[in-house]
C-alpha cells in the first residue's frame, strides 16, 4: 500500500515538474522565474539536508559550508579564468572533490560520537570557512564578495530555469532511489535504532559517512547553481542563515520525505518574497524569520513529521476511520 | 614583558567570559544530557538587557543584577516550555534549542533594533593602573575576579552542599538519584536556571569589555563555548574552566601574532582533542557514546 502511495507521490511530482517545464512557453514574468529558480536551488539544498536529518538522523549545523564551497569555487573559476563551459566543468569537479573531502573528514572525526559532536563540529567548522572567506582577500575579495561573468549558455534566464528544474528533478529521483536502495535502508535503520543496526553487523560509521558525503556533494551543487543565478558571491553563502534556511525548509516541510523539502523550500522562499514586500507596510515584517522560528519550534514540538508527514498521517487515518465510526454508531 | 602581561590578562579575561558561558553548557549537558544550542542567545539577552538597565538606572551593579535576573527567568521558561516537552529525544532537543536561539536573537533585533549598541564601563572601572611600567586595564582585572569568584562559588556549591551532592550524583546516574526519592526534575530546573544566569552574566560583562554588542555575538561566543566544552570534556565543570583559559589565551596571543589564524587554532585544538581524547583533555572517565 505504502509503495503504491509513494509511486503516486512521485507521479504527482513529475506532473508538476512537466507543468513547470512548459510554463515559460505560456507565461512571461521575469520575477516569477527568478523566484522559482531560487526555489529549485534551495530545494536541492534542503533535500540534501533531508538525507542527513530525515533519513540518517544526523543533525548538521554547518551545511552552509558545502553550499559555500560550491558557490565560491564556481565564482573563483569564473573570475580568475575564462567564463567558458570548460572552466564551468572544472569548477563542478573541484566542488565535488572538495565537498566530498571535507564531509568525509568531518564525518570521520565526529560521527563515531554522540550526535551533539557532529552538530557542534559542523557549526564551528562552517564558522571557520566564513572567516577564511573573509580573510583570504586575494582569492575571495573579502566581505564584499565579487561579481563574475557566466558562460554564455547560462546567460538566458529561461535556459537556466530549465537547467535548475532538471537538476532538481534529477536530484529528487536520485535521492528517492538512493534512500530506497539497500544502503538507504541501512541508513533508515540507523535513524531508528543505532545500537540494533550495529549489532546486526553493519559498520554504522561507514554508512553515516557515506550519507554525509552524498549530502555534502549535493549541497555543493546547489551552491554552484546559487552562485550562477546571482552571478555574484560573497561571504553570506557561508553564514548560519543558509543552514537555518535548509533547517526550516526541511523541518516545516516534513523530514524524511524529500517532497517535504521541496514544499518547504517553496513555502519559505514565497513567504520570504511576500513578507519582504509587506515590510514596507510595517517594520515587524522585516523580522520575518521570527515567525518561521516560532512555527519551526511548534512543528518540532507538536508535528515532528512536518507538513507532508502530518498530512500523510491524516489521510491514511481517514481511510481507516469509516469502519471504526460504523462500529461506534452501532454501539451508540 | 609589558606586551606579554597584557596579552595574558586579555586572554584570561576573554577566557573567563567564555567560561561563564561554557560552565552552564557543560553542567546542563552533564546533568540533563541536553546540549543547549540556545545558550548563546541567553548570553546575548544578558548583554542587551543588562546594558539597557545600566543605561536606565546609571548603576552598573543594578545592570549586572538585572541581566542575571533576565537569565534566570529565561532559563526557567526555556526549561519548562522548550526542553521538558522533548526530554530524552536528542535530535529533537538539538533542533528545538537551535530554533529557540533563532527566536531569541531575532527578538533582540525587534526590541533593540538591528544595529549594534555601544557600551562603556562605569567611572570606577574605567582607566588603568600602572605597576612597574606595565599598564593594566582595570576592567580586565574586574572580569577575571568575577570569573574566579563564580568558579569558586559554583565549585563550593558542588562539593560542599547537599544540592551540589545531588547534582554530582545526578551527573553520574540520574535514575538512581530519582529512585532515592529526590525530585530530579526540580534539580534540572535549578541547574538550567543557574546556567542561564551565568551565561547572562557573561554577556553583560562582555558589553563594556568589547565596547559594542550586537545580536550575532551570541552565536560567535557559543561557538567558542562549544570548543571549550569539547576540549574540557562534556559535563566536566573543572575541565571547562581550564579549557576556557586555554582557549582565551591562545585566542589572545594568536590574535596578536597571527591574527588570521586565531579561530583556526582553536578549531585545530578541538579537532585534535576529538581524535585523540574525545572524552576531553581534563576528564578522567571514558567517553560516552
Complex ipTM value: 0.83
What whole-number distance in Å separates Cα of residue A134 and Cα of residue B147?
32
Which of these ranges, A2-6, A210-214, B51-55, B275-279, has the smallest mean pLDDT?
A2-6
Residue B81: closest C-alpha in chain A: A301
Please provide the average confidence, as pLDDT, over all residues in chain A.
84
DSSP H stretches of helix in chain B: 2-32, 39-57, 60-77, 90-112, 138-160, 162-172, 174-179, 184-210, 217-232, 237-257, 262-276
pLDDT at position A6 is: 58
Percent of chain A, pLDDT > 90?
A: 24
Residue B287 above 60 pLDDT?
no
Once rounded to an integer, what is the mean pLDDT over residues B58-70? 93
Determine the straight-line distance between the first and last CA of chain A, rounded to whole angstroms.
32
Contacts of A244 in chain B (CB under 8 A): 98, 102
Give the E-state strand segments of chain A in sequence order: 146-147, 232-233
Q: How confident is the model at residue A195 (pLDDT cuts 50, 70, 90)?
A: confident
Continuous segment of H or E residues that includes residue B130: strand B128-131
Q: What percent of chain A has pLDDT over 70?
A: 92
Between chains, do B274 and A114 touch, taking CB under 8 Å as contact? no
* pLDDT for B286: 44
CB-CB neighbors (< 8 A) of A301 in chain B: 85-86, 96
Domain architecture of chain A: domains with CATH: 2-331 (1.10.3470)
How many angstroms separate the CA atoms of B109 and A148, rounded?
33
Per-residue pLDDT averaged across A260-271, rounded? 89
pLDDT at A324 exceeding the cut of 80: no
Higher pLDDT pick, B284 / B251: B251
Q: What is the pLDDT of residue B206?
A: 92
| Nine-digit cell string for A42 | 534551495
A7-40 pLDDT, tens digit each: 676 777 778 888 887 777 777 777 888 888 999 9
Q: Which pLDDT band holds residue A330 (cuts at 50, 70, 90)?
A: very low
Q: Is the pLDDT of residue A5 over 60?
A: no
pLDDT at position A49 is: 93
Asked if the model's pLDDT at residue A101 lies above 70, the reply is yes
A242-261 residues labelled b (16+ CB within 10 A) or e (exposed): bbbbbbbbbbbbbbbbbbbb
| pLDDT of residue B237 exceeding 80 | yes
| Range of weakest confidence among A120-134, B73-87, B235-249 | A120-134
If one compares B48 and B91, the residue with the highest pLDDT of the two is B48
How many Cβ pairs closer than 8 A exist between chain A and B?
A: 97
Q: Give the pLDDT score at B195.
A: 93
- pLDDT band of A322, cuts 50, 70, 90: low
Residue A332 predicted with pLDDT over 70 = no
pLDDT score recorded for residue B285: 53
pLDDT at residue B289 in the model: 37
Tens of pLDDT, residue by residue over B119-160, are 888 888 887 887 777 788 889 899 999 999 999 999 999 889
pLDDT in tens, A134-185: 888 888 887 888 888 888 788 888 888 889 999 999 999 899 899 999 999 9
Nearest CB to A301: which of B85, B234, B271? Answer: B85
C-beta atoms of A119 and B37 within 8 A: yes
pTM of the model: 0.85
Interface test with B, best of A57, A61, A118, A119 (most B CBs within 10 A): A119
pLDDT averaged over every residue in chain B: 87
At A321 the pLDDT is 56
A137 close to B (CB below 8 A): no
Residue A298 contacts B, CB cutoff 8 Å: no
From the list B260, B263, B266, the residue with the least C-alpha distance to B229 is B266
- pLDDT above 50 (res A4): no
Give the C-alpha separation, A76 to A73, whole Å: 5
**What's the confidence (pLDDT) of residue B154?**
92
pLDDT at B76: 94
Cα separation values, A93 from A79, A90, A217, A220, B58, Å: 17, 5, 10, 10, 60
pLDDT-based confidence at A331, cuts 50/70/90?
Answer: very low
Contact across the interface for B35 and A127, Cβ inside 8 Å:
no
Q: Is B91 on the interface with A (CB under 8 A)?
A: yes
Overall average pLDDT of the B152-171 stretch? 89
Amino acid at each position: 500500500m505504502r509503495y503504491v502511495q509513494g509511486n503516486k507521490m512521485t507521479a504527482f511530482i513529475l506532473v508538476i515538474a512537466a507543468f513547470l517545464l512548459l510554463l515559460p512557453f505560456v507565461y512571461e514574468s521575469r520575477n516569477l522565474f527568478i523566484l522559482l529558480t531560487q526555489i529549485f536551488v534551495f530545494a536541492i539544498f534542503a533535500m540534501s539536508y533531508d538525507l542527513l536529518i530525515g533519513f540518517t538522523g544526523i543533525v548538521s549545523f554547518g551545511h552552509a559550508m558545502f553550499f559555500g564551497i560550491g558557490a565560491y569555487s564556481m565564482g573563483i573559476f569564473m573570475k580568475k579564468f575564462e567564463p567558458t563551459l570548460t572552466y564551468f566543468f572544472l569548477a563542478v569537479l573541484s566542488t565535488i572533490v572538495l565537498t566530498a573531502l571535507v564531509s568525509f573528514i568531518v564525518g570521520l572525526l565526529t560521527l563515531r560520537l554522540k550526535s551533539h559532536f557532529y552538530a557542534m563540529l559542523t557549526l564551528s567548522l562552517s564558522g571557520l570557512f566564513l572567516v577564511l572567506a573573509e580573510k583570504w582577500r586575494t582569492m575571495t575579495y573579502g566581505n564584499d564578495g565579487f561579481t563574475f561573468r557566466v558562460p554564455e549558455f547560462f546567460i538566458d534566464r529561461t535556459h537556466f530555469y530549465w537547467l535548475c528544474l532538471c537538476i532538481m528533478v534529477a536530484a529528487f529521483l536520485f535521492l528517492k532511489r538512493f534512500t530506497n536502495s539497500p544502503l538507504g535502508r541501512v541508513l533508515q535503520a540507523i535513524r531508528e535504532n543505532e545500537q540494533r543496526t550495529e549489532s546486526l553487523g553493519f559498520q554504522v560509521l561507514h554508512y553515516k559517512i557515506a550519507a554525509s558525503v552524498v549530502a555534502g556533494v549535493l549541497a555543493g551543487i546547489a551552491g554552484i547553481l546559487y552562485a550562477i543565478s546571482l552571478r555574484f558571491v560573497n561571504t553570506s553563502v557561508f553564514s548560519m542563515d543558509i543552514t537555518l534556511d535548509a533547517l526550516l525548509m526541511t523541518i516545516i516541510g516534513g523530514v524524511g520525505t524529500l517532497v517535504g523539502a521541496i514544499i518547504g523550500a517553496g513555502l519559505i522562499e514565497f513567504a520570504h518574497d511576500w513578507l519582504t514586500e509587506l515590510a514596507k507596510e510595517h517594520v515587524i515584517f522585516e523580522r520575518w524569520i521570527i515567525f518561521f522560528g516560532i512555527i519551526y519550534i511548534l512543528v518540532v514540538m507538536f508535528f515532528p513529521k512536518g507538513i507532508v508527514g502530518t498530512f500523510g498521517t491524516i489521510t491514511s487515518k481517514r481511510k481507516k476511520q469509516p469502519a471504526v465510526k460504523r462500529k461506534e454508531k452501532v454501539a451508540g | 614583558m609589558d606586551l606579554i602581561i597584557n596579552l595574558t590578562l586579555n586572554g584570561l579575561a576573554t577566557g573567563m567570559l567564555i567560561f561563564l558561558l561554557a560552565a552552564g553548557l557543560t553542567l546542563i549537558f552533564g546533568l540533563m544530557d541536553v546540549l543547549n544550542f540556545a545558550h548563546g542567545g541567553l548570553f546575548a539577552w544578558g548583554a542587551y538587557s543588562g546594558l539597557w538597565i545600566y543605561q536606565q538606572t546609571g548603576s552598573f551593579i543594578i545592570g549586572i543584577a538585572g541581566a542575571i535576573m533576565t537569565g534566570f527567568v529565561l532559563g526557567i521558561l526555556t526549561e519548562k516550555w522548550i526542553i521538558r516537552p522533548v526530554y530524552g529525544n536528542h535530535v529533537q532537543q538539538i533542533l528545538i534549542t537551535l530554533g529557540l536561539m533563532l527566536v531569541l536573537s531575532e527578538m533582540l533585533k525587534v526590541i533593540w533594533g538591528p544595529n549594534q549598541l555601544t557600551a562603556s564601563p562605569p567611572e570606577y572601572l574605567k582607566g588603568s593602573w600602572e605597576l612597574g611600567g606595565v599598564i593594566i586595564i582595570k576592567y580586565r582585572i574586574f572580569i577575571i575576579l568575577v570569573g574566579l569568584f563564580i568558579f569558586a562559588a559554583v565549585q563550593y556549591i558542588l562539593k560542599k552542599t547537599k544540592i551540589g551532592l545531588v547534582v554530582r550524583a545526578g551527573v553520574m546516574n540520574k535514575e538512581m538519584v530519582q529512585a532515592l526519592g529526590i525530585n530530579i526534575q526540580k534539580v534540572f530546573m535549578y541547574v538550567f536556571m543557574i546556567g542561564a544566569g551565568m551565561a547572562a552574566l557573561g554577556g553583560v560583562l562582555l558589553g563594556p569589555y568589547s565596547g559594542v554588542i550586537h545580536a550575532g555575538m551570541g552565536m560567535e561566543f557559543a561557538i567558542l563555548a562549544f570548543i571549550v566544552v569539547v576540549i574540557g570534556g562534556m559535563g566536566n565543570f573543572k575541565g571547562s574552566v581550564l579549557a576556557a583559559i586555554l582557549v582565551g589565551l591562545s585566542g589572545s596571543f594568536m590574535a596578536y601574532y597571527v591574527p588570521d589564524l586565531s579561530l583556526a587554532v582553536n578549531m585545530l585544538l578541538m579537532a585534535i582533542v576529538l581524535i585523540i581524547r574525545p572524552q576531553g583533555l581534563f576528564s578522567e572517565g571514558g567517553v560516552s557514546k
